Structure 1
């Protein structure tokens, strides 16, 4: 099994500071704090897991206490803001055993290296409703899509798991209410909304296998993104309201470490070394044998069929590509089988190879390998065709669709392009609706692109990037942020609020919040 290894060099780099100027250059810390044209006396935040404070693949108390809405609320209190309650979990494990929700990820030493693992212990959080201690101003619900915020019964335990959400079950005011209804029942004077990520992210993280489709751009309320998002904002900010608010758009998946941590060529030449002493000559002999017996003949056959770019020979000097199944390709199983039989390969074996490689290809730099695929690469599948000891997923066996988000190949767009196209359409709608309602707007997509750049951003001499773990901003699940990452988000919201409503809320200091915890 391939491990996600974090080197000691990378850990030391995490502590490195620089004298560069801050990228948070619009702070107002030396100006008297005022609300400007806004009223912060009752602030309510709506959204999904990113709003709730979810991190390390779970929702737990310490993460919730470092949610970006909580940080914003603390700054709003300096300008007349009121109480801000969050539906805290029961512990710092984050698991809900009765709902099959696992504990958070932690870093642990596994076989001599640091790797994310599930935290030990049994979570004490249940689905028991805690609304009596509310209402709660952080209305972020992990897993929620745009339509879910409007859906009655989203907190009804009888609807689990199909039409209800276990997290909202815990703090809904009733079994028939909706997230929006509970938010508006508090008569908020200021609202923040960051929603829509899951309308495209679920498709991306499942490798575009169809189990979690992208929300259609068009369609009626509850079906299409455009009409549903518009209805949501119109409900929160009806005509004639004096309520102020802010909305944020959706980051591209290409900016988050869930899709950038594992390279498109992650199989080292050493994987093919089977000698007990680790002899390089043995490694090279195995690579030569696989090229001669498997990939060479395949490439020759496919080249004759005009599809030679599907397969590449193994390299002895650099990371090797993963083999994957691409269902968009013409299935050449019959042609491959016929050619192999003609070359003297037994009929049964030729048939199995034709079936296995009929829609297979090697990865390119356009493909995205999800972080979770790390646990699959190098494992042995169950199949009658054995190329032992190299019959491993991604090596001589193609990865299933769910393990790769396929990019453009031979000029034909893939799943990556589907995701980016949908995200762009959703973001256009979000910006248009924000403008029509005269709301503050946060371009979180642009901020995440900046964070994902080599230079990243700097606060008080500390550089932050989107690099997995060592960049300081993303947690162990590669999608959600650390406390420091959420502080970066909070500052973007604060800057946009100040610019729109002439308030002078001070920014928070990301360096004062937590990053990834090392054992």
Structure 2
């Protein structure tokens, strides 16, 4: 037996031992009942289990509750397949409560979080837990994530919950949080002494992914879909070029949503030339952080040793590093899918057409070509004159007023600038259904309306 085969065998044996030991723990609410084959999903969707993080759990606008969970793409996929599918539904207003407006400008809905369930299904099909990294699927998470994990699927891992459900089809969308914290916080180093990096090292990502993949193989489904990692720098509106904050500021006060914007975020310098600093990526999270007196586009704005140095900001080198790491993650996920004859889907290929999509709208007698689905200031890349730059803000950036997009960040995005809206989940379900049909011969509806 070679080293690779031995490693796989050891992981499988360890997984089997974990499952057998876990089976000794009483989980009366997890008794499996027979489910008949479904009309459109056929034998493949007799028992569908979805694993993952907040994207799969149905998290929207910074919160989770039953009204959002039932709109998540796995629920929609199961409906298209005619399959029974149970989610661990959280009481409203939510745990946590969703934002009432983009990025919590007016706070969250309700007055207090409601961290309890309103159902107790015998089998849980959506075992995803918001905040999960790859390692959290097979290793019970620590910190605040532990409470949410327990609320949703009990004191067990997603791997165990998936295996106990005896799936015939598994979808796995994991890895986004292995890069998201670094992307949004701008901090690529260790989270704390002894903790993992905010940007998970590739070797660690691959070894952890192998454990999860082995667990799916152990469950022996008829098929599986592995979904890659979204590059938030490319597709998540919570990150915008620094120029956006300068151009969208109140010209009378020089402030964006009350926070001063440093002139180094101006897209043009005093000579009318493009300013490279303005195209560093800035996280919307800086707006609400009182520790930062202004929005600044210079990575060296704070002295060495100051914990604020480079936070909420990605320079061009960091943008390249994170993008390359995500590409490596996705290569590993794709290789795992192909090695097991499963379906692989790259979510970035789903999102890119919507970044380019334009809708012609006439406002006050003037015609605009607006990006209504996703607002990432994508038109700023090709703007070089003051007139072009200002037009790009109106058509492709998150703005208020006549040229505003639905949900501020675009109709596919919820109020947190990271997670899909209800429309976004419909699009995902339609695109995933199309790929599943192609690969497995099912007849799921591919409609996104």
Counterpart among 52, 68, 71 of residue 76 in structure 2: 71
Q: Is residue 40 of structure 1 aligned with residue 19 of structure 2?
A: no
Q: Which residue of 2 aligns with 1:214?
A: 199
CA contact (8 A) 1:43 1:191 kept: yes
Q: Return the alpha-carbon distance in structure 2 between the equivalents of residues 88 and 235 of structure 1.
A: 25
Match of 1:121 in 2: 110
For residue 242 of structure 1, report the CA deviation from its aligned partner: 4.9
Q: TM-score, normalised by structure 1?
A: 0.60
2:214 pairs with one of 224, 228, 234: 234
Q: Aligned runs of 1:316-395 on 2, under 5 Å?
A: 363-365=277-279, 367-375=280-288, 381=293, 392-394=294-296
Q: What is the CA–CA distance in structure 1 between the aligned matches of 2:202 and 2:73, rounded to whole Å?
A: 28
- Deviation string 1:35-70 (CA, Å, 9 cap, x unpaired) is 46x521111100000000101011122211110000
Spell out, residue by residue over 1:166-205, the C-alpha distance to the aligned partner (whole angstroms, 9 max, x if none).
22111334x3x21110111011111111110001111111
Q: Given the alignment, which residue of 426, 440, 449 partners 2:343?
A: 440
Deviations 1:146-167 (Å, cap 9, x if unpaired)? 110011x34xxxx543xx5222
Residue 498 of structure 1 corresponds to which residue in structure 2? 437
| 1:450 matched residue in structure 2 | 353
Where do 5+ consecutive residues of structure 1 fail to align? 1-31, 96-100, 109-113, 219-223, 276-289, 296-309, 322-361, 382-391, 409-413, 457-461, 511-519
Flag the 1:419–1:133 CA change in 2: closer, same or farther, 3 A: same
1-structure distance, mates of 2:137, 2:347: 20
User: What is the deviation of 1:443?
Assistant: 1.6
CA spacing shift, 1:316–1:394, aligned 2, 3 Å: farther
- The answer as to 2:123 corresponding to 1:135 is yes
The CA RMSD over aligned residues, in Å, is 3.7
Residues 257 and 228 (structure 1 numbering): CA distance in 2 closer, same or farther, change over 3 Å? closer
What secondary structure, in the 3-state scheme, does the structure 2 residue paired with 1:238 have? helix
Matching residue within 127, 132, 152 for 1:171: 152
How many angstroms apart in 1 are the aligned matches of 2:221 and 2:267? 62
Go from structure 1 to structure 2 and tell me whether the alpha carbon gap of 1:261 and 1:312 turns closer, same or farther (over 3 Å shift). closer
Residue aligning to 2:321: 418
Aligned partner of 2:234 among 255, 277, 296: 255
SS in 1 for 2:101: strand
TM-score (norm 2): 0.69
- Given the alignment of the two structures, is residue 182 of structure 1 paired with residue 184 of structure 2, yes or no? no
> Which secondary structure state, in structure 2, belongs to the residue aligned with residue 364 of structure 1?
helix
8 Å CA contact 1:258–1:479 kept in 2: the answer is yes
Report the CA distance between 1:405 and its aligned residue.
3.2
Greater RCO (CA < 8 Å, at least 6 residues apart): 1
Q: Is the 8 A contact 2:88 2:153 kept in 1?
A: no
TM-superposed CA distance for 1:256, in Å, is 2.5
1:485 lines up with 2:393 in the alignment? no
After superposition, give the CA deviation of every residue in 1:214-261 in whole Å (9 maximum; x if it has no partner): 11111xxxxx1112112211211239x352111111121223343454
Greater helix fraction, Structure 1 or Structure 2: 2
Q: CA deviation at 1:125?
A: 1.9
Whose radius of gyration is greater, 1 or 2?
A: 1
Corresponding residue for residue 147 of structure 1: 135
CA contact (8 A) 1:51 1:140 kept: yes
Deviation at 1:122, TM superposition (A): 2.5
